[in-house]
Amino acid sequence: MSVKELPRKEANVLNGHEGAVLAARFNSDGNYCLSCGKDRTIRLWNPHRGIHIKTYKAHGREVRDVHVTPDNSKLCSCGGDRQIFFWDVSTGRVIRKFRGHDGEVNAVKFNEYASVVVSAGYDRSLRAWDCRSHSTEPIQIIDSFLDTVMSVCLTKTEIIGGSVDGTVRTFDIRIGREISDDLGQPVNCISMSNDGNCILASCLDSTLRLLDRSTGELLQEYKGHTCKSYKMDCCLTNNDAHVIGGSEDGSIFFWDLVDASVVSKFRAHSSVVTSVSYHPKDNCMITSSVDGTVRVWKQ
């Protein structure tokens, strides 16, 4: 994919959040997106048309992360109120609340079948919550992290968490192993490559690191942006050719995956870019920022 095809043109600006937007996520087919922020709301958008569809309000504190099931029927969100909310998308009601984290919850993800929600918390734990039963107790607590867990990723068989203790830990359910990759720097955010073989970890030393999941070796480091104190997302393009990351000065960086050169860089927001999310199929990207906007980028 050439540089020209990168989504660098602003297609839409989604205004509505009052205060910082902390996360913006495409849904599984990329037709909609969700954003959440400090105004304690979750908003559902059609980013392609720039329309605000729905607002979900129930959180008592800021909402830090949101995720939607592959069938678009349920949402889960988490935030500063130490609870995970399990929403019905269409009605906008909270189906269940999972309490148990002893601190803020930083990230949340559904598993493949939307039967489990895994959350990562300030209390140094990953917790798995059962969406099928009515129990509100976690069905698994993973507390081997030494510091705040910032981000979580799920595969069909694994739970991967990135933590401020500098580790990316992979919990393989199938073989019952925990694989800990110590990066030596606080890990802010992890995201999987689309082929599932690599993990991109955003570290607080202003470096993105690409890890080979099978061997744990460091494949590449991406530098140039600033990321020192914010939780900022990073992701790969849907063809895994480029790495995208935000910067604290409001820029978006595109790196070439292989040679780690900054392919493109432009100023997208007036303030810290908190989140980037790439469309699963098209060359489209949404970014959210502390400036309160979510921007949609297309080529």
Partner 1 sequence: MDSDEEDYVFFGKPIEREEEITNRRKKAAAEASGNLRSLPPWKQEVRDEEGRRRFHGAFTGGFSAGYFNTVGTKEGWAPQSFTSSRKNRAEVKQQSIFNFLDEDEKTELESQNLGTSSQFDTFGFTAAEYARKQANKEQKQRPSAIPGPVPDELILPASESIGVKLLLKMGWRRGRAIKDLHASSLYDARREARKAFLAFASEDTKASHPTDFEPVEGEPENFLAQPADDDAQSSQSLPVFVINPKQDLHGLGYDPFKHAPEFREKKRSRLSNDKQHGYRKAISIKDSLFGSKSGKAASGFGIGALEEFDAEDEDIYAAGYDFEETVIEEDEEPSRLSVESKKKAVRKDQGVLRGFKVATVSDYQLERFDPPIIPKDFVPHHKFPGPLETLKKLDVPSPPEVPPPDDNNLKLLIEGVATLVARCGKLFEDLSRKKNQSNPLFSFLSGGNGHDYYDRKLWEEHQKRGDQAKLSLDGKLSPSVQKMTAENRGKLLGEKPLERSSRETTSSSVASGDFVQLQFNLSDTFKKPESFNELPEVAKPFKDDPAKQERFEQFLKEKYEGGLRSMGSSAASNMSEAARAHERLDFEAAAEAIEKGKRGKESLISEQPFDFLATGMQFTSGVQEQVKDTHAENLMTKKMYPRREEFQWRPLPVLCKRFDLIDPFMGKPPPAPRMRSKIDSLLFMPDYVKGAKLEEDLVTNRDVPVAQTDAQKTIEDVAGKEIEVAAENVERPVDLYKAIFSDDSDEDVEDINTKKVEDQEKKIEVATTTLNRLIAGDFLESLGKELGLEVPPDMPYSTNNVSTPTQKETPNGENAILSPLEGRTFCAPKSVSGTSLNPGQETAQDGELAKNESIPGRSVRYSSKYPDGLSENISGKVNMEKIAQEDKKGKSSSRHQRNWSSSSSSEDERSRKQSRRHRYRSSDSYSDSASDHHDRYRSRSKGRRKKSSREKSSSSRKHSKHHKHRNRDSPSRSHQVSEREHSEARKEKRIRRD
What does the binding site for partner 1 look like in residue numbers (CB under 8 A)? 58-60, 81-83, 93-94, 97, 111-113, 115-116, 128, 130, 132, 139-140, 142, 144, 156-157, 166, 171-185, 194-197, 209, 211-212, 214-220, 239-241, 257-260
Identify which of residues 40 and 43 has a Cβ nearer to partner 1 in the complex. Answer: 40
Instruction: Find the shortest distance in angstroms from Cβ 240 to partner 1.
Output: 6
Identify which of residues 147 and 212 has a Cβ nearer to partner 1 in the complex. Answer: 212
Identify which of residues 112 and 249 has a Cβ nearer to partner 1 in the complex. Answer: 112
CA distance 215 to 236: 20
CA distance 186 to 166: 4
CA distance 279 to 16: 21
Instruction: Find the shortest distance in angstroms from Cβ 146 to partner 1.
Output: 10
Question: Token match 């989140």: residue?
Answer: 275
Instruction: Find the shortest distance in angstroms from Cβ 134 to partner 1.
Output: 13
| Dihedrals phi, psi of 3, to nearest 5 degrees | -65, -30
Instruction: Find the shortest distance in angstroms from Cβ 220 to partner 1.
Output: 7
Q: Report yes or no: 120 and 102 within 8 Å, Cβ to Cβ.
A: no
Identify which of residues 22 and 198 has a Cβ nearer to partner 1 in the complex. Answer: 198
DSSP letter for 4, please: G
Instruction: Find the shortest distance in angstroms from Cβ 172 to partner 1.
Output: 8
Residues in the chain: 299
Tokens linked to 272: 């810290």
Identify which of residues 14 and 204 has a Cβ nearer to partner 1 in the complex. Answer: 204
Task: Identify the sign of the CA torsion 104, 110, 115, 116.
Answer: negative
CA distance 144 to 44: 35
Instruction: Find the shortest distance in angstroms from Cβ 181 to partner 1.
Output: 5
Identify which of residues 11 and 262 has a Cβ nearer to partner 1 in the complex. Answer: 262
Q: Report yes or no: 294 and 3 within 8 Å, Cβ to Cβ.
A: no
Identify which of residues 47 and 245 has a Cβ nearer to partner 1 in the complex. Answer: 245
Task: Identify the sign of the CA torsion 158, 286, 28, 260.
Answer: negative
In the chain, the amino acid numbered 120 is: A
Instruction: Find the shortest distance in angstroms from Cβ 182 to partner 1.
Output: 4
Tokens linked to 23: 């996360």
CA distance 230 to 291: 14
Other C-beta atoms lying within 10 Å of the C-beta of residue 283: 18
Instruction: Find the shortest distance in angstroms from Cβ 152 to partner 1.
Output: 14
Identify which of residues 49 and 57 has a Cβ nearer to partner 1 in the complex. Answer: 57
DSSP letter for 234, please: E
State whether residue 120 is helix, strand or coil: strand
CA distance 285 to 28: 13
